[in-house]
Amino acid sequence: MFNDVKVSNEQINPNYKQWVENKGKSLDCQLSVTLLNENQWPSAPRVPLNPTPEFIPCKTAFEDFFGCAAQKKSLAWIYQSGDTDVHYSFVPKPGAKAITVELNISCTQACICLMLNHSKQVKFKEMLDALQCGEEHLKYSITPLVYTKERFLANRGPDGKGKKEVNDDGTPAAVTWNSLAPEDFIAPCLIKAPKRRQVYPALKPLPNPNAPDQGTQIDPNAAEVLKERELKMQLALVRVMKARNTLLVNQLIAEATDQLTKYFVPEVRLMRKQIEVLMERGFMKRDDDDQKKIHYVA
């Protein structure tokens, strides 16, 4: 599993970059891919996504490169596991100098932003029809961009003039599944107190009052997210141990957590559990004299 990541970083991506230069291809965006062997990794759910036209040349170029370098093996793109850096430029007030902010967002969120390059505002239903990623996933993706303090998109409502979520008594209402309606327009807005780089981690799915009561059943989406996060925790722990060779448990957790904060903030309890899993699988071991000390096993 971890060898796949190493090979991707040290061989596949550099070779792909050189291949693009040799072919004289001019691509509008840079692509870095992690190739995972399906036989070695747990099967990941694949969220369907119809990427915007800006992504197609890079995707096609890598598929051409992979076909030449790997005897035309098939590729399955797991879009929800990727992230994208895009530059968002806006003018804070008339006559002012434009401000450019780097946004770290998911592939679906990047497609949402790119659609707004061609239109001042786009209906939620039009986004859904164009991206073909399912209503739940689209709402899950767009919520951090519209309903957080660092938002840079706004829900303009069905008339395009603005929409506020309020209760009958005029007080602000909580954001729910119904806050985003099919006919609502989504449009850019100014980022409040912009930083040089803004990270938009995924939020919990919006509560859906129309969904059937699941009782005490485990949410399958939550289980899939937890599984994906466990893999990321294991990768981060092994990367740290490979670089440091020997560390105290608390130091290992702290350094691995620093690597993961761009995706999510892991619980210490779960990090300790993943350390135990990696020790069982032979990637690391405890010191014979000090149980708080961990050694990397090459």
pLDDT for 6 equals: 76
Count of residues making up the chain: 298
Confidence of residue 72 (pLDDT cuts 50, 70, 90): low
Confidence of residue 215 (pLDDT cuts 50, 70, 90): very low
**Enclosing domain of residue 243:** 230-296
Place of tokens 């995707």: 59
Q: And the tokens for 17? A: 């970059």
Q: What's the chain's average pLDDT? A: 82
Cβ(225)–Cβ(204) below 8 Å: no
| Same domain for 56 and 94 | no
Q: Give the domain-ending residue among 32, 63, 80.
A: 80
pLDDT for 218 equals: 41
Residue 217: inside a domain = no
pLDDT for 208 equals: 59
Place of tokens 């989504």: 186
CATH number assigned to the domain comprising residue 259 = 1.10.10.10
Q: Which tens digits make up the pLDDT trace of 94-110?
A: 788 888 889 888 899 99
Q: How many domains does the chain have?
A: 3
List all residues 6 or more positions away from 29 whose beta carbon is below 8 Å from its beta carbon.
54, 55, 58
Q: Which tens digits make up the pLDDT trace of 183-192?
A: 999 999 887 7
Residue 224: inside a domain = no
| Same domain for 98 and 49 | no
| Same domain for 193 and 277 | no
pLDDT for 39 equals: 63
CATH number assigned to the domain comprising residue 114 = 3.30.230.130
User: Helix H segments across 99-159?
Assistant: 107-115, 124-131, 135-146
Residue 151 has pLDDT above 80, yes or no: yes
The better pLDDT of the pair 216, 260 is held by 260
| Same domain for 143 and 154 | yes
The pTM score is: 0.67
pLDDT for 2 equals: 61
pLDDT for 93 equals: 78
Residue 220: inside a domain = no
| Same domain for 95 and 71 | no
| Same domain for 87 and 75 | no
The better pLDDT of the pair 72, 36 is held by 36
pLDDT for 164 equals: 75
| Same domain for 190 and 90 | yes
| Same domain for 284 and 193 | no
In percent, how much of the chain has pLDDT > 70? 83
Residue 88: inside a domain = yes
The one-letter amino acid at 225: V
Distance CA 260, CA 258 (A): 6
Q: Give the domain-ending residue among 26, 56, 80.
A: 80
Confidence of residue 8 (pLDDT cuts 50, 70, 90): confident
Cβ(79)–Cβ(52) below 8 Å: no
Residue 204: inside a domain = no
